[in-house]
Amino acid sequence: MPEFALTGLAFLVFTLDLFLPERSKEWLAGLSVLGLIGVGAIALLMLPGRNVELYGGLLAVDGFGLFFKVFFLAIGIGIIAIALEYGKARLQHRGEFYGLLLFSILGMNLMAMSRELLTAYIALELLSFSLYVLVAYGLREARSNEAGIKYIIIGALSSAVMLYGLSNIYAALGTTYFSGIAAALSSPATDNPVLWVGLALLIVGLGFKLSAVPFHMWAPDAYEGAPLPVTAYLAIGSKAAAFALTLRLLAEAVAPAGDRWADWQLVIAVLSAVTMLVGNLVALAQSNLKRLMAYSSIGHVGYTLAGIAVLGDDFALAAKAVIFYLVVYAITNLIVFAGLASYYNSTGKDNIADLAGLADRQPFTAAVLAIGLFSLAGLPIFAGFTAKFYLFAAVADGGFLWLAGVAIFSSLVSLYYYLQVLRQIYIEPAAPESGTEGDAAAEHGGGHHDAEPEQDSLPVPMLPRPSITLSATMGVGVLAVIWLGIYPAPLLAVIEFASSAILPMG
């Protein structure tokens, strides 16, 4: 029922967009938010405590799926809040934008519910096709169109690799159901090279979707070229959905195989280490904020993959740590991108150096960005510290002490480039606006010795305050980041309930 309601909401937004005049299109954002809240209410009223299969085992209705449904709906509301003011000036066809966003959320919901490979693949493609269009939604910007072309080519390649892997798995086992794969892998008679090729290609396909190194080449260009709300969505929503699918796939299809899963743990661990190192080290050289956040998100994918690598040892602890990290990462990124959107809406600039003097020009936004970046770096008392503590402890407990060490080193590297951004915000002075009276005086009559003091004394104009929507988004997000950093127990209890639904024994 929640998925049917979400589908109906998306079609309603598309239909109303045909008839509403341009000046009234912003009402579609409010309709989308109210609809997402309604879908969440339906899910919470109907589904708690349910653990059933639909359509012959293709989809599962359980605590794990319910948790991620509510999580994805909340992400959608946050992205709409970021896009509202941005879209008025910079997005055409806003109704279609919100409709595509709703369809992508439907795809994410189905990914978290899937218990069969082809069903999961179709849900993933529903998400991917929506993202292909959204990345290229800046129709007036050449780099947005370029990013869309690059993204769809790489996305099509990754989808083909994944589908070829699924065909190999079916050829070897005769089933695409997670339960059937688990039963086949548990049999000592299953030792088919075609199966291992299929599993390897499946990992490669998921690696593309997650932007794990070395399958990350699309991410920086797509992040830089996409409209800012879509960049935020790529960093938050698509990653969370891919990890939700990965968690259920490993829990119900691979982890029950025991020793056979242990053979793949080292592969995932090495992939994790390379991803976090490359993401954080290459981020040091970035000058554009979107590209910086792209490589930052690649680094965070590496951290999360470290939790995936130890799922077979203490599944409950590792799964809980991974889900908690996904939630904290989503909330923290949401406030960072809301702050960047607030600045971009006022200036149209997205380079790191452009943030100089932001603390004097827009102090609330500067404080939000500082809290968000400190949380991403993993500093106390923020939620990022708590999430990394749980995740790295689970990795060390799983026997991968070297991987936990690499993760800690990578976090220290990330702190450096986050501090470089904060240095621009709080230490570097803002450049005066060109065309001021002081510039004119210096140009026409100021002597050489007087030019520099005159330039230093030029007033730097204040930026307009963030909109009410953005301010509320940033305020709620900051409170959540601090609260989860100090007292995460209630959320961890909910996550424990969700992860128990996919435990290999349960």
Q: How far apart are alpha carbons 273 and 114 in whole angstroms? A: 28
Instruction: Quote the Cα angle for 166-200-204, to 5°.
Output: 85
Instruction: Quote the Cα angle for 210-216-222, to 5°.
Output: 90
Which position has the higher pLDDT, 18 or 503?
A: 18
* pLDDT value, residue 17: 86
Dihedrals phi, psi of 342, to nearest 5 degrees: -60, -45
Task: Give the number of other Cβ atoms within 10 Å of residue 156's Cβ.
Answer: 12
Which position has the higher pLDDT, 53 or 439?
A: 53
Burial letters for 4-30: b for 16+ Cβ neighbours within 10 Å, e otherwise? ebbeebbebbbebbeeeeeeebeebbe
What are the tens digits of pLDDT across the range 5-42? 999 999 999 999 888 887 777 788 889 999 999 999 99
What are the tens digits of pLDDT across the range 245-269? 999 988 888 777 666 666 778 888 9
Return the percentage of the chain with pLDDT > 70, whole number.
90
Token pair in block for residue 103: 């369809």
Task: Give the number of other Cβ atoms within 10 Å of residue 309's Cβ.
Answer: 25
* pLDDT value, residue 147: 86
Tell me the mean pLDDT in the region 165-186.
Answer: 87
Q: Is 89 exposed, middle or buried (0-12, 13-18, 19+ CB in 10 A)?
A: exposed
What are the tens digits of pLDDT across the range 177-200? 988 888 887 776 666 788 888 888
Tell me the mean pLDDT in the region 364-368.
Answer: 91
Tell me the mean pLDDT in the region 487-492.
Answer: 92
Partnered with residue 351 across adjacent β-strands are 288
Q: How far apart are alpha carbons 94 and 23 in whole angstroms? A: 11
* pLDDT value, residue 371: 94
Q: Is 440 exposed, middle or buried (0-12, 13-18, 19+ CB in 10 A)?
A: exposed
347 three-class SS = helix
Question: pLDDT at residue 412 above 90?
Answer: yes
pLDDT tier, 401 (very low <50, low <70, confident <90, very high otherwise) = very high
Token pair in block for residue 59: 């989809």
Question: pLDDT at residue 67 above 60?
Answer: yes
Residue 52: its H or E element: strand 52-54
pLDDT tier, 313 (very low <50, low <70, confident <90, very high otherwise) = low
Q: What is the mean pLDDT of the chain?
A: 85
Which position has the higher pLDDT, 450 or 410?
A: 410
368 three-class SS = helix
The single residue listed with the structure tokens 């980041």 is: 481
What are the tens digits of pLDDT across the range 268-309? 899 999 999 999 999 999 888 999 999 999 999 999 999 998
What are the tens digits of pLDDT across the range 208-229? 888 898 888 888 888 988 888 9
* pLDDT value, residue 414: 92
DSSP code at position 54: E
User: Which residues are within 8 A (CB) of 183 and not within 5 positions of it... i.e. 6 or more apart?
Assistant: none
* pLDDT value, residue 190: 62
Return the percentage of the chain with pLDDT > 90, whole number.
44
User: Which residues are within 8 A (CB) of 365 and not within 5 positions of it... i.e. 6 or more apart?
Assistant: 339, 342, 343, 358, 463, 466, 474
Task: Give the number of other Cβ atoms within 10 Å of residue 57's Cβ.
Answer: 14
Token pair in block for residue 314: 């203490």
Are 120 and 209 within 8 A, CB to CB? no
pLDDT tier, 452 (very low <50, low <70, confident <90, very high otherwise) = very low
CA separation (Å) from 500 to 120, 478, 506? 21, 29, 7
Dihedrals phi, psi of 60, to nearest 5 degrees: -115, 135
Query: Does the N-terminal peptide bond of residue 214 adopt cis geometry, omega within 30 degrees of 0?
Result: yes
* pLDDT value, residue 374: 94
* pLDDT value, residue 258: 64
For the whole model, what pTM was predicted?
Answer: 0.90
Q: Which segments of 348-467 does DSSP mark as H helices, in order?
A: 358-361, 363-377, 383-397, 401-426, 437-444, 448-456
Q: How far apart are alpha carbons 189 and 268 in whole angstroms? A: 25
The single residue listed with the structure tokens 């698509």 is: 238
Question: pLDDT at residue 405 above 90?
Answer: yes
What are the tens digits of pLDDT across the range 80-129? 999 888 767 777 778 888 999 999 999 999 999 999 999 999 999 999 99
Which amino acid appears at position 147 of this protein?
A
Over its C-alpha atoms, the chain yields an Rg (Å, rounded) of 23
